[in-house]
Chains A and B, each alone.
Chain A
Amino acid sequence: MEDFLIKLPLLLDSMIRLSVPLLFAALAGLFSERSGIFDISLEGKMLGAAFAAAAAAAVMDSALAGLLAGILVSVALALVHGFASISQRGNQIVSGVAINFVALGLTVLLGQAWFSQGGRTPQLSPDGRFGELTLPFATQLADVPFLGVLYEGIISGHNILVYVAFLMVPLSWWVLFRTRFGLRLRAVGENPAAVDTAGVSVVWLRYRAVIVCGVLCGFAGAYLSIAQASGFTKDMTAGRGFIALAALIFAKWKPVPVMMACLLFGLLQAIPIQYPQISLPGIGIVPGQVMQALPYVLTVVLLAGFIGKATPPKAGGVPYVKER
Chain B
Amino acid sequence: MFNVVRTAWFLATKYFSKFSKWTSALIIFVIALTFLNLVVVSGLLVGLIEGSVLGIKELRTGEVFITPTEQNQHIKKYNELFSVLDNNKNIKGYAPRYVSDARLYKDYKTSIYRRAGEVDVDIYATVTGIDIEKEKDFFELDEKIIEGRWFVDTDVNSVILGNRLTASVDEELFTDERVLGDVKPGEIIEIQFENNTSAPQKFQVIGIINSKQPEYDYGIIIPSRELRGILGQSALLGPDNIGVRISNNVEPAVVIDSIKASTDSTLINVRSAEDSIGKYLGNIRKTFVLLSNALGTISIVVVTVMLFIVIFISAITKQRQIGILKGIGISPLTLKLSYMFLSFMYTFVGVVIGVLILVFLLIPYFDANPIDFPFSDGILFVTLPGLITKIFLLFVMSIFAGFLPAHLITRRNTLNTILGR
Whether A and B are associated in the same complex: the answer reads no
Binding site for B on A (CB under 8 A): none
Binding site for A on B (CB under 8 A): none
